[in-house]
A and B are shown apart, each in its own frame.
Chain A
Amino acid sequence: MKKEVKNEKAKKYGMVIDLDKCTGCGACMVACMSENNVPFKEDESNKLDSIAWMRVYKLTNGKPFPEADICYLPRPCMHCEGHNGHAPCVSVCPATATDYNHETGIVSQIYTRCFGCRYCMVACPYHARYFNWWDPVWPEGMEKYLNPDVSPRMRGVVEKCSFCFHRYQTAMNKAYVEGRRKLEEDEYQTSCAQACPADAITFGDLNDPAHAVHQIAKPDLKHGGRSSNPNAFRLLERLGTNPKVYYLSSREWVRRAGDNYLKKDKTVKKLH
Chain B
Amino acid sequence: MKIGRRSFLSFIIGGAAGTALSPLAWKSMDDSSIWSQNWPWTPVPADGEVSHVNSVCTLCPGGCGITVRKVDDRAVKIEGMKGHPVNDGGVCILGLSALQLLYGPTRVKAPLKRVGERGEEKWQEISWSEAVAEVAAKLGDLRSKGKSHTVCSILDSDKGTVPYLFGRLLTVYGSPNFIRTPSIQDSYELAINLMHGVQASAGFDVEHADFVLSFGSGLIDGWGSPVRMFKANSNWKDSGSKVVQIEPRLSNTAAKSDKWIPINPGTEVALAMGLAHVIIKESLYDSDFVNNYSSGFDKFKQLVLDKYNPDNVAQITGVDSSALVSLARNFAHASKPLAVCGRGQGKTQGSLDEFIAVHALNALVGNINSEGGVWAVPDPDYIKWPEVEMDSVAAVGMQKERIDGAGSETYPYARYLLNRFSGVVNSEEESPVNALFVAGANPLYTISDSKAVKEAFSKIPFVVSFSSYMDETAKNADLILPNHVFLERYEDVPMPVGLQKHVIGLSRPVVKPQFNTKHVGDVIILIAKALGGRIADAFPWDNYEACLEETLGDKWESIVENGFWSDPDFKVPASEEAFNTPSGKFEFIPANLKSPLDFSPVTIEGSDISYPLILVPYDSMRLANGFIGNPPFITKTVEDTVLKGKDVFVEINPKTAEEIGLIEGRYVDIRTPRGKAKVRVHLFDGIMPGIVALPRGLGHTAYDKYIAGKGINFNELIGPVEDPVSGFDAAWGIRARLTKV
Q: Check B622–A33 contact: CB distance below 8 A.
A: no
- CB < 8 Å: which of B87, B221, B654, B684 contacts A197? B87
Q: Check B645–A43 contact: CB distance below 8 A.
A: yes
Say whether B611 faces chain A, with CB atoms less than 8 Å apart: no
- CB < 8 Å: which of B74, B226, B636 contacts A40? B636
Determine the distance from Cα of A25 to Cα of B639 in the docked complex, in whole angstroms. Answer: 12
Please tell me the number of chain A residues within 8 Å of chain B, measured between CB atoms: 68
Say whether B681 faces chain A, with CB atoms less than 8 Å apart: no
Chain A, residue nearest B647 (CB): A45
B75, B102, B255: residue with the most chain A Cβ atoms closer than 10 Å: B255
Say whether B400 faces chain A, with CB atoms less than 8 Å apart: no
Determine the distance from Cα of A157 to Cα of B36 in the docked complex, in whole angstroms. Answer: 11
Say whether B4 faces chain A, with CB atoms less than 8 Å apart: no
Chain A, residue nearest B71 (CB): A148
Known: A60-B685, A198-B234, A199-B90. A135 touches B256 (CB 8 A): no
Known: A152-B45, A198-B230. A56 touches B653 (CB 8 A): no
Q: For B221, what are the chain A residues with a Cβ–Cβ distance below 8 Å? A: 23
Q: Check A33–B262 contact: CB distance below 8 A.
A: no
- CB < 8 Å: which of B45, B103, B231, B635 contacts A198? B231
Q: Which of B15-52 contact A (CB under 8 A)?
A: 33, 36-39, 41-48
Kindly specify which of A137-145, A219-227, A232-240 makes contact with the partner chain: A137-145
Q: Which of A127-183 contact B (CB under 8 A)?
A: 135-148, 151-157
Say whether B233 faces chain A, with CB atoms less than 8 Å apart: yes
Determine the distance from Cα of A191 to Cα of B93 in the docked complex, in whole angstroms. Answer: 13
Chain B, residue nearest A48 (CB): B640
Kindly specify which of A2-10, A66-74, A85-93, A118-126 makes contact with the partner chain: A66-74
- CB < 8 Å: which of A31, A142, A198 contacts B104? A142
Q: Distance in Å from the Cβ of A65 to the closest Cβ of chain B?
A: 5
Q: For A23, what are the chain B residues with a Cβ–Cβ distance below 8 Å? A: 220-221, 230, 233, 252, 256, 621
Known: A30-B637, A47-B640, A52-B637. A63 touches B96 (CB 8 A): no
Say whether A258 faces chain B, with CB atoms less than 8 Å apart: no
Say whether B643 faces chain A, with CB atoms less than 8 Å apart: yes
- CB < 8 Å: which of A66, A70, A152, A195 contacts B79? A195
Q: For B71, what are the chain A residues with a Cβ–Cβ distance below 8 Å? A: 147-148
Kindly specify which of B135-143, B264-272, B488-496, B686-694 makes contact with the partner chain: B686-694
Chain A, residue nearest B256 (CB): A23
Interface membership of chain A positions 23-52, coded 1 if the CB is closer than 8 angstroms to chain B and 0 otherwise: 111110111011101001011111100101
Say whether A102 faces chain B, with CB atoms less than 8 Å apart: no
Say whether A187 faces chain B, with CB atoms less than 8 Å apart: no
Q: For A157, what are the chain B residues with a Cβ–Cβ distance below 8 Å? A: 37
Say whether A259 faces chain B, with CB atoms less than 8 Å apart: no
Determine the distance from Cα of A178 to Cα of B90 in the docked complex, in whole angstroms. Answer: 28
Q: Check B514–A65 contact: CB distance below 8 A.
A: no
Please tell me the number of chain B residues within 8 Å of chain A, measured between CB atoms: 78
Q: Distance in Å from the Cβ of B514 to the closest Cβ of chain A?
A: 7
Say whether A196 faces chain B, with CB atoms less than 8 Å apart: yes
Say whether A58 faces chain B, with CB atoms less than 8 Å apart: yes
Determine the distance from Cα of A106 to Cα of B173 in the docked complex, in whole angstroms. Answer: 65
Say whether B299 faces chain A, with CB atoms less than 8 Å apart: no
Chain B, residue nearest A51 (CB): B636
Q: For B514, what are the chain A residues with a Cβ–Cβ distance below 8 Å? A: 141
Q: For B92, what are the chain A residues with a Cβ–Cβ distance below 8 Å? A: 25, 27, 197
Say whether A200 faces chain B, with CB atoms less than 8 Å apart: yes
Q: Check A197–B705 contact: CB distance below 8 A.
A: no
Q: Check B36–A69 contact: CB distance below 8 A.
A: no
Known: A25-B622, A40-B633, A52-B636. A197 touches B80 (CB 8 A): yes
Q: Check A64–B685 contact: CB distance below 8 A.
A: yes
Known: A147-B77, A198-B234. A44 touches B636 (CB 8 A): yes
Say whether A269 faces chain B, with CB atoms less than 8 Å apart: no
- CB < 8 Å: which of A26, A42, A68, A199 contacts B93? A26
Write 7 A-B pairs (CB below 8 A) sorted by A numbering: A23-B233, A25-B93, A45-B643, A145-B75, A148-B48, A152-B45, A154-B42
Binding site for B on A (CB under 8 A): 18, 20-21, 23-27, 29-31, 33-35, 37, 40, 42-47, 50, 52, 56, 58, 60, 62-66, 68-72, 112, 115, 135-148, 151-157, 191, 194-200
Binding site for A on B (CB under 8 A): 33, 36-39, 41-48, 71, 74-80, 87, 89-93, 96-97, 99-100, 102-105, 220-221, 226-227, 230-231, 233-234, 237, 250, 252, 255-256, 260, 262, 514, 621-622, 632-641, 643-645, 653-655, 684-689, 704-706
